[in-house]
Chain A
Amino acid sequence: MEKLLNKIFVAKVNELPEKLGRTVHVHGLELAIFKLVDGDIRVIENRCPHKGGVLAEGMISGEHVFCPMHDWKISVVDGKVQKPDIGCVQTFEVKVEKDNVYVMLPEK
């Protein structure tokens, strides 16, 4: 069965900080939104699979964020934890229309 997705407004593009994360609580989920150097916007869940570090506060380099707790390196594109660690965080599809950022969330 196809999953229904909700398109949810989370921010204005120009209100998102550059090269920093931002925390968004939405429908019981905690998300980390990143505006990368090339303007690309990415959304992942805001918890490192290791010990639950808040990824929105991590340092961003390219398409990766470094968890502020123990420096795990995680792709903000596919959510994959980089070697030598293993794991994955959930990623969410993002739609940008005009100046609005929407996240696609599964229907509740």
Chain B
Amino acid sequence: MRKQKLVLVGNGMAGIRAIEEILKLSPHQFDITVFGSEPYPNYNRIELSKVLQGDTEIDDITLNNWQWYEENEILLYPGETVTAIDKDNQTVFTDKERQVDYDKLIIATGSVPFMLPLPGVDKDGVTAFRDIKDCEQMIETSDQYKKAVVIGGGLLGLEAARGLLNLGMQVDVVHIADYLMERQLDKTAGKMLQKELENQGMNFLLNKQSVKITGRNRVKGLKFKDGGEVKADLVVMAVGIKPNISMAKESGVPVNRGIIVNDYLETEVPNIFAVGECAEHREMVYGLVAPLYQQAQQMAKRICNVDCDGYKGSVLSTQLKVSGVDVFSTGKIIEDKHTKSLKVFDEWRGVYQKVLVEEGKITGAVLYGDTKDGNRLLSLINKGAMIEEYTDNKRSEETGNDLIASMPEEEIICGCNGVTKGTIIEAINNQDLTTVEQVKGCTNASRSCGGCKSLVSDLLEYALGDQYDQNQKESICTCSTLSRDEVIEEIKLKELTHTREVMNVLGWTSEEGCSKCKPALNYYLGMLNPTEYKDERESRFVNERLHANIQNNGTYSVVPRMYGGVTNAEDLRRIADVADKYEVKMIKVTGGQRLDLLGVQKGDLPSMWSELDMPSGSAYAKGLRTVKTCVGADFCRFGTQDSIGLGVQMEKKFEGLNTPHKVKMSVSACPRNCAEGSVKDVGVIGLDGEFELYVGGNGGTHMRKAELLAKVKTEAEVLNTTAAFLQYYRENASYLERTSAWVERVGIEHIQNVLSNKKTFIDLNQRMDEALSVVQDPWKEAIKSETLLRDLYENVKVPAGSN
């Protein structure tokens, strides 16, 4: 059977979305041809303001690249405009004199910017803000000119204005109403928005009606009805859009404001459909994305002959994309005699929220400053919910529901394991999952770095709604229902001394635990009783058991300690000799100022260590890794303190300590912070006459800037304060919880309070000393013990032919 011919006029978001839906439903039914006036593949027009604001490149907003068209065998004519439709013969004509037949035709010509019919509108330097070309023109103009005027204080105008500010221009925004975004906001929110944007540098001319654009060839200024005027090198008109229907209208497709369509997006002409901003459905023309996606879906079903309910119209919601401003509005926004409203107005925090209620039902909302509830309100309006449903559950304060709802199904949630939103939602629904641990178990999401854990939690909440218990107690692992604190409490109370004893007594579901709880219990037992507890090697991850880092091919890497990052010629010579002898594959300087010898066989580790005759750098440890230092007072012209000396002291003091997760420190000798203390667990910055101690920084999976813990005068105080901080962390954090997460969880003020108590401070230091008293160098220990050598490092080779 011959394939049907499907022609799409308009290569924008609505049309291509429809094609995507059609390809999903019926991949081989049509030969598809697409015409687009712009010389680009399909891009995300909404993100144009981000391009203008400099946050994004044009490449980044491409939705379907050239390859996508090829892969789907779509014939694309970019930069070519359809000029007419012959609806009787089912043919379209283009400005390049091309003629293409269709069986089905989709018109998705979108809209065109509405240009005020002012005298002078055709001068150079007057532009709309609609497509990539406009965007590029504005960027070019900003190279030569300084003064921009934006006509229109709505969504688009404000986004353009923000972009022009970012391009270094002075910006006046001219608006005809007496407050901004009057179609989406009420006066209170509009005025708050104005104040914030004024702080960002915009200047507003409200209640102004433009009458004339002045200048000879290029624009020079703008005149108003009240006689006033402003100078302008660039005028951006952002007063609205109108459906782009001229071609359809001239070809005899019935139109009103837009091309008239029914619930199936069919025009009144057989086999011609219209979708998106050019379409008028039930007397509504939409200028936003969500409705056009809903339309595209229904239309695709119709075109592919799949049963569907049809499109019923959309409740609108808007969000302003200007950094530093959170604005959301949806549904009805202005009160009248039928409405009641629920308002929160917190001028101090800059938060304003209004929810409108009609006969008990939520009909609209305006949110300013805190828009987290936005998408929830929108969905409540969509399902016709009563106001109680919102007020009773206002607990969603902390959730990312907005974000989740707007994410496409194929968005990758877990980057380590490539798990998409769709996969997770499906698993939650089909396998009745209720906890993050279960999702982890069924889908692999958040199993590796854990960076997406909160997203997974949000997905659960999104899928389960009120049934999801967000504050579910986090058990130590799936072997037990007890939390970390409960386990520690029980260990103390019942004086438990071995991991297996803990598992038995506390009713573990598995006899020997798992790779999560074994190392955790081993750590807790050692932390609680450092001098008597015998560390269990079998409860250690391979790196810590063998004291070397396992690499992806089963070889290991060896990092000798270099206190404060300082070495000398003799050590370097020895490292070089050892590297030669054991055929080290690569020598690499690590991020923490060490040398890493990579590609070592397990069996060679002990002899290498003994020949190196240096302490272990503990580059594998859940413990102190390195103390990175800057050059400091001895050599640096800015250095005010002996950062190297202090770094060495710190490293010598804390080496070999067990901690819940790895600990990295640094010492810098001046505010230039060359040792990068803001991303360290403990970052010391030496100033003239004092030291600042920053804690809880992390440069890894969860980037976090360290916070100031204390300022102290002497090196001894640096050491004691660090000890107190680390000991408090050791005693209170969960196993595998970095200081960054822990500080975030308990709060820096809390830690400061605890450490400010003199007795507590001394006790913490004492317990730290106790923990440090049993530390031995693991490499020396291994070399000396025959059992360890045999049990851990020996490989057996059975000679061939032996029986």
| Contacts from A to B (Cβ < 8 Å) | 6-11, 15, 17-20, 22-27, 37, 51-54, 57-62, 66, 68-71, 73, 83-85
Contact = CB atoms under 8 A, between A and B. Distances in A.
Contacts of B537: 20
A70 B416 CA distance: 11
Given A9-B802, A84-B443, A66 B512 contact: no
A53 B554 contact: yes
Contacts of B795: 22-25
Contacts of B448: 70
Given A66-B515, A70-B448, A54 B554 contact: yes
Contacts of B392: none
B184 interface: no
B337 interface: no
Given A20-B538, A57-B542, A62-B512, A8 B798 contact: yes
Q: Name, among B448, B514, B798, B802, the residue most crowded by chain A CB atoms within 10 Å (CB to CB).
A: B798
A15 B776 CA distance: 26
A20 B792 contact: yes
Interface in B758-803: 790-792, 794-798, 800, 802-803
Contacts of B513: 61
A25 to B, nearest CB: 5
A20 B537 CA distance: 9
B720 to A, nearest CB: 37
Nearest to B444: A84
Interface stretch (B127-135, B264-272, B545-553): B545-553
B297 interface: no
B539 interface: yes
B798 A61 contact: no
A17 B786 CA distance: 12
Contacts of B539: 59
Contact of A84 (B442, B518, B519, B802): B442
Given A53-B554, A57-B542, A84-B443, A15 B515 contact: no
B798 A27 contact: yes
B390 interface: no
B441 A83 contact: yes
Nearest to B556: A57
* Among A57, A61, A73, residue most surrounded by chain B Cβ atoms (within 10 Å): A61
Nearest to B443: A84
B796 A23 contact: yes
Nearest to A10: B798
Task: List 6 A-B pairs, minimum CB-CB distance, nearest first.
Answer: A17-B791, A66-B515, A19-B538, A26-B798, A68-B542, A57-B542
A75 B550 CA distance: 22
A52 B553 contact: yes
B798 A9 contact: yes
A11 B514 contact: no
B512 A69 contact: no
- Interface extent on B, as a size class? 35 or more
B610 interface: no
Contacts of B538: 18-20, 59-60
Contacts of A69: 550, 552
Given A20-B538, A62-B511, A25 B798 contact: yes
A24 to B, nearest CB: 4
Interface of B: 441-444, 447-448, 510-515, 518-519, 537-542, 545-546, 550, 552-554, 602, 790-792, 794-798, 800, 802-803
Contacts of A11: 796
Given A62-B512, A66-B515, A22 B796 contact: yes
Contacts of B447: 71
A37 B443 contact: no
Given A9-B802, A59-B518, A20 B791 contact: yes
Contacts of A26: 797-798
Nearest to A57: B542
A22 B538 CA distance: 12
Contact of B803 (A7, A17, A59): A7
Nearest to B440: A84
Nearest to B539: A59
A64 to B, nearest CB: 8
Nearest to A24: B796
Contacts of A27: 798, 800
Contacts of A68: 541-542, 550
Nearest to B799: A26
Nearest to B795: A23
Given A37-B511, A58-B542, 15 more contacts: A8-B803, A10-B796, A10-B798, A11-B796, A18-B538, A20-B791, A20-B792, A23-B796, A26-B797, A52-B553, A57-B545, A57-B546, A61-B518, A68-B541, A84-B444
7 contacts: A19-B538, A20-B537, A26-B798, A58-B515, A59-B515, A60-B538, A84-B442
A25 B514 CA distance: 28
Interface centre among B519, B541, B796 (most CB of A within 10 A): B796
Nearest to B555: A54
A83 to B, nearest CB: 7
A4 to B, nearest CB: 12
Contact of A8 (B511, B515, B552, B802): B802
Contacts of A18: 538
B802 to A, nearest CB: 7
Contacts of A54: 550, 554
A60 B510 CA distance: 12
Contacts of A57: 542, 545-546, 550, 554
